[in-house]
Chain A
Amino acid sequence: MKKCKTGVYICMCGTNIAKMVDVEGVKDQVSTLPDVALARTYKYMCSNPGQEIIVQDIKEHKLDRIVVAACSPRMHERTFRRALSTAGLNPYLLEMANIREQCSWVHEDQATATEKAKALTRAAINRVKFHEPLESMSVDMSSSTLVIGGGIAGMTAALELAEAGHFVYLVEKADHLGGNLARVDLTAPYLDSARDLIVERITRIRNNPRIEVHLGSRVTGVKGYIGNFEGSVELVNRLDNILRKPVEIKIGSIIVCTGYKEFDAARITHYGYGKLPNVITSFEFEKMIRAGRIETKQGKTPQYISIIHCVGSRSQEFHSYCSRVCCMTALKYAHELKSANPDSYISDIYIDMHAFGKGHEEFYNRTSEAKTLFLMYAKNDKPVIRKAGPKDDCEMLIEVNEKLSGEVIEIPADMVILMVGMEAREDSAEVARLVNISADKDGWFMESHPKLEPVATTTDGIYIAGTCVAPKDIPDTVAQARAAAARVLAKIAKGKIDVDAVYAEVNEDLCAGCRLCNVLCPYSAIEFDEEKKRSHVISALCKACGTCVSSCPSAAIKGRHFTDQQIFAEIEGVLAL
C-alpha cells in the first residue's frame, strides 16, 4: 500500500460544532496519525474561503486524500467534491466525518463528544486511504417516449412531446381514445363540453405523424433503464382473432396515465342500487344527458331528483379519501336538471361541500341561487332509500338524519343519482409491477416525493400523471400531464443521462448464477445473462443500496465506493482507540 498524503479539515460550523467539540483537540490528535499530511480547523468549511483552503492545500502540498469533519454528507458532500474537482483531484477521494449531527448536536458532555468526534475523524482518515478514483459515466437518452393510457392525461402528454418534435407511442387498452372523460357530457364549473375538449385533441393526435397510436393494446413488457427502455406492445382486443406479434419499441421515458375506474355502487346495500330501478350512478346519468332524455325507467320525467354525494368516498368501510370531482359534478347535474326541466326539485345530499378550486365557490353560489335543496348528512350515518307508498306522489323516499336542522327527515325522490367516487383500476398492481413503480394501499401510484416530485417515481425515467396517482379534476390532470412531459423534455434536451459512479458491480468470475440478487434488487437493476449464466448490474438503474452486495453468497458483488476494505478500515478507525 503506497503512502498517501491526507489533508484533514475540521469545521467549527460557527459555534454549532465548536461549542460541544474541542476542535483543536481533534486537530492535535489526528495530526499525529500516519498518512496525515496536515490538519486544519476553520469556522465555516463550506464557505467559499473554506473551500479555497482545501483547493490551495491540494495544489501546494500535493495532497491526494481529503477528510472533512463537519456536518452530514447529505448536506455538503457535493460541495467538497466540487472543491476537489476544482483542484484537479478525483472527487471520490473525499470522505466526510459527521461531527455535527452525530456529535455536537446530540451530546451534552463536551469530553465524550470530543472523543466521539476524534473516533469518527480517525475512521474517515482510515477509510479514505482505500478510496479509488471513480469516473461517472453517461448513457444515451432516447428521444422517444411511451405514454400508457389515452385519456385526457395521456393525450395531453403525448401532444406536448410530439409537438416539441419527439416521437411518442400512445398505447390505449380501449378501442378509442378519450378515457373516462369521453363518458362525460359537460364539465364543471364552466359547463364546457367535454366532447369539445377530447375531439380537438384526438384530431391533433391523428394528424401528428410523430404519434403512433396503439388502440386496443397493452404494454406487456418493459426492460432497460432511463434513456434506454425496451417495451413490447401487444394487441388485446383482437377482432380478427389473428395472433399478431407484439410490437417491440425503444423508448427513453415512460409516462403512465392509466386513470381510474368508478366505485361500484352496488357495494353499498342501503342505497338499493341494482334493486331500485331509478337509483342510478353518475355515469349512467351522464349517458342519459348525452342521449338528451332525462327520464325514469318508467319513461316519466322525474319531478323530484336527489343527488347523493360521497358514494364510496370518505367512508371507513370503503375509501377514506375524497374523490375531489364529485361535489362539482353534482352541482353540474343540478344545473343540467334544472335547465332540462325548470319544474323539477333537486336535493343535494352531501357530507361537506368541497368547493376548493377556481370558480367552484361561485358555481356553488349559482346552484344555491337556483333553489337547490342542500341537505347535510353525517359521514357514518348514510341516507337510506326505500320505495314510496302508493299514496305518495313520488317513486322513492330517502330517509336521512339531517345535520343542519337536527331532524330525521324523508325526501321525496323520483330519481336518485349516486355520485360514485374514483377507485384505482383493477390492473393497477400489474401496471406498477410492469414499470417497476409502487402503489399505495388504495392502489394509487406513488410519487417519489408527494410535494416536490409530484410526477416522478422512484424509478428514473418513469413518470405518472392524472388520476392513476390520486383522484383529481381535469385542470390538475392536464397540469400533471404537462409537468411529466416537461420532465421528459428536459432529459431529452440534455441528450445524455449522467449515471453516478457509485453502483454495484458483479465479478463474473465469482458469480455462480444463483439469481438471488435478481429478485432482491428493489430497483430491478440486475438482469440475468442467459448465455453466460451470470447476473449483471445495470449501472444506470442501480441506486447503490447495497442489498445485493450483502446478500451474494459468493461475495461476487462489489459496491463501488463501499468496498469491504473501505468499510473494515472505517470500523477499525473507530475502534482503534
Chain B
Amino acid sequence: MPIRVNPKLIEELDFYGAEDVQFCYHCGDCSANCTHTDEIYRFPRKSMRSLQMGLERKLETALEPWLCYYCGQCSSQCPREADPGETMMALRRWLIGRYDFTGIARRFYISRASEVLAIVITGLLTGIGFVLYGYFLGNLRIYDGEGAFLPSSLIHTFDLTLGSLIGVILLINAFRMWRLTLYNERSVHIPWWLYLKWIWLLPFHFFTQKRYAECESQRATPVFMPWIIHLFLMLGYVIMLVLVMAFIEQLQAGPAINWKVHIFGYASAVGLTIGTIYFIGSRLRKRSEIQYKKSHSTDWVFVILLTIIVITGIVQHIFHRTGMPVAANITYILHLMAVVPWLLRMPFSKWAHLVYRPLGMYFAGIRKDAILRQEKKEGILVPNPV
C-alpha cells in the first residue's frame, strides 16, 4: 500500500518552527554528522524527508525527535541552510501536540495569542481566588499559622490537587505516546519482557541526561555548560516539586529558618536562578550555542514565567523571614499567579520533555532491541517503520 502524501503538512509545521525544511535537497550531511544517529534510527535527513512529503503516519510513529538533543552540528554545516536541528525541535513540538489528548498544546503552538490569554486568565483567576479566600477567611498581616492569609494547609491541598490533575493529563498523554509509537506499529513484534529489560533507561536518562552531554563531547571544543546548567535546572525543579508537594507546611512555617527543609529550598533556588539567567542570556545573545539562535514564542513564555516565579519566590521568602508579613503575602500571591499557569501549562509545552524524553529513550531502546531480534530470527533486514 502506498503511503498518502499530505502536501499541507509542511505548511502546518511552519507554526512549530520548521521554517526552512523545504530547502533540504537530501545530501545527507546532517545524518553523517549526527552523534546519535545509528543503524536503526536514522536522522535528521529521513525525518526531514518525511516532513517535506507530509508522511504524517510515519512522523507520529517516529521516536527520532526524542533522540535528538539539538547540538546544532547538523544545522551549522547544512549546505542548504535547511536547519535540520530546528526541524527536529519543531517535530518535538508537533509531537507534543499529537500526544496531547486535550488539543491545548496544538492550540498554543499555532496561536501565541491563545497561549498568552490562557496564562493571563489562569493567573488572574488564581490571584482572585486566593485574594477572596484571604479577604474573607484570613488576615493579610499573618503569613503562617492561625488566621494566615494563605494557610499552608490550604496551599498543600491545592498543590496536591493541581499535581494530580497534571499527573493524570501526563499519564494519559504518555499512554497515547506509547500507543502511537509502539502499540500501533505492528510491523515490529515486541515481546512483553522487553519492557522490563529496558525499564532502567527511564530513571537513568531522567536524572543524567547523558545524551545531552554526548552531543557536546563530539565537538572540537565541547561546551558542557548548557548540559550542566540544564541538569541544575532540572534537579532544581525536582527538588522544588518534592518540597512543594510534600513539605509545603514545613517550608512555609517561620519566620525562623528550618534548615532541615530550607537547605533544599536554597539549593533548588540556586539551581533555578543560575539556569534561568543562563538561558535568558543565551536566547538574548543568540550566538553562544546554535540551539538558542531561534526561539519559538512558547520558549519565551516559559522563561519569562520562570523568571517571575524565581524572583517572587525568593523575595517572598526574604520578606517573610525579615518580618514583613504583608509584603510577603502580596508577593506570595504574585508568585502563585505565575506558578499555577506555569505548572498547568506543563503538559502542553516544552516542559513535557521532562516526561517524553526519558519515555522516548525507553521506547527507542525497546524498539531497537525488538527490530534487531526480529532481524536475527528471520534473517532479513527489518526496516525501522519510520
Binding site for B on A (CB under 8 A): 304, 345, 347, 365, 368-375, 399, 402, 404-405, 407-412
Contact stretch, chosen from B47-55, B105-113, B259-267, B368-376:
B47-55
B7 x A304 contact (CB < 8 A): yes
Residues of chain B within 8 A of A370, CB atoms compared: 22
Check B22–A371 contact: CB distance below 8 A. yes
Q: Known contacts A368-B23, A371-B11; is A404 also within 8 Å of B49 by CB?
A: yes
Q: Counting CB contacts under 8 A, is B98 at the interface?
A: no
Do B53 and A405 touch across chains, with their CB atoms under 8 A apart?
Answer: yes
Which residues of chain A are within 8 angstroms of B46 by Cβ–Cβ distance?
A: 405
A304, A369, A375, A399: the one within 8 Å of B53 (CB): A375
Chain A's closest residue to B23 (CB) is A368
By a CB distance below 8 angstroms, the chain B residues around A405 are 46, 49-50, 53, 55
Verify A411–B23 contact, CB threshold 8 A: no
Which residues on the B side are within 8 Å of A399 (C-beta)? 2
Contact between A409 and B23, CB atoms less than 8 A apart: no
CB contact list, B1-46 vs A, under 8 A: 2-5, 7-8, 10-11, 22-23, 25-26, 46
Which residues from A are CB-within-8-Å of B3?
A: 407-410
Chain A nearest CB, measured from B4 CB (Å): 6
A347 close to B23 (CB less than 8 A): no
Question: Which residues B353-385 have CB closer than 8 A to chain A?
Answer: none
A-B contact count (CB 8 A): 56
A368–B50 CB distance below 8 A? no
Minimum CB–CB distance from B383 to chain A (whole Å) comes to: 8
26 pairs, A vs B, C-beta closer than 8 Å: A304-B7, A345-B7, A365-B23, A368-B22, A368-B23, A368-B25, A369-B22, A370-B22, A371-B10, A371-B11, A372-B22, A373-B54, A374-B52, A402-B53, A404-B26, A404-B49, A405-B46, A407-B3, A408-B3, A409-B2, A409-B4, A409-B5, A409-B55, A411-B5, A411-B7, A412-B7
Question: Quick one: given A399-B2, A405-B46, A410-B2, are A373 and B53 in contact (CB under 8 Å)?
Answer: yes
Contacts of A347 in B (CB 8 A): 5, 7
Kindly list chain A residues whose C-beta atoms are within 8 Å of the C-beta of B25: 368, 374
Chain B residue contacts of A365, Cβ below 8 A: 23
In the complex the two chains form, what is the Cα distance from A184 to B22 in whole Å?
A: 28
Q: Report whether B10 and A373 are in contact in the complex, using a CB–CB cutoff of 8 Å.
A: yes
Contacts A345-B8, A371-B11, A374-B52 supplied; 14 other A-B pairs, CB < 8 Å: A304-B7, A345-B7, A347-B7, A371-B10, A399-B2, A405-B46, A405-B49, A405-B55, A407-B3, A408-B2, A409-B3, A409-B5, A410-B2, A412-B7
Residue interface bits B49-63, CB-to-A below 8 A is 1, else 0: 110111100000000
B: number of interface residues (CB 8 Å): 19
Closest B residue to A404 by beta carbon equals B26
Most A CB within 10 A of own CB, among B5, B26, B54 = B5
One of B7, B22, B55 near A407 (C-beta < 8 A)? B55
Expressed in whole angstroms, the Cα–Cα distance for A290 and B46 within the complex equals: 40
Distance of B301 from chain A, by nearest CB (Å): 27
* Best-surrounded residue of B2, B3, B46 (most CB of chain A within 10 A): B2
- The chain A residue sitting closest to B20, CB to CB, is A369
The docked-state distance in angstroms from the alpha carbon of A341 to that of B3 is 26
Chain A residues, CB < 8 A from B50: 405
Distance of A405 Cα from B48 Cα, bound (Å)? 10
**Contact between chains at B7 and A410 (CB < 8 Å):** no
Question: In the bound complex, what is the Cα–Cα distance between A98 and B341 (angstroms)?
Answer: 98
A401 closest partner in B (C-beta): B2
Residue on B nearest A367 in the bound complex, by CB = B22
Cα–Cα, bound, A371→B49 (Å) = 13
B131 to chain A, nearest CB (A): 49
Nearest-neighbor residue (CB-CB) of B82 within chain A:
A368
Are B55 and A369 in contact, with the CB atoms below 8 A? no
Q: A398 to chain B: closest CB distance in Å?
A: 9
Q: What are the residues of chain A within 8 A of B49 when measuring CB–CB?
A: 404-405
B151 to nearest A CB, angstroms? 57
Q: Is the CB of A373 within 8 A of B7?
A: yes
Instruction: Report Cα–Cα, A403/B25, bound state, in Å.
Output: 12
Contact A412 B4 (CB under 8 A): yes
Tell me the minimal C-beta distance from A303 to chain B in angstroms.
9
Q: How far is the CB of A307 from chain B (nearest CB, A)?
A: 13
* Nearest CB of chain A from residue B188's CB, rounded to whole Å: 17
**Closest CB-CB distance, B64 to chain A, in whole Å?**
14
CB pair B5–A412 under 8 Å, yes or no, is yes
Residue of B nearest to A405 (CB): B49
B26: A residues at CB distance < 8 A: 404
| A409 engages B22 (CB within 8 Å) | no
CB distance from A335 to the nearest CB of B (A): 14
CB distance from B381 to the nearest CB of A (A): 12
Closest to B50 in A: A405
The A-contacting residues of B in range 220-236, CB under 8 angstroms, are none
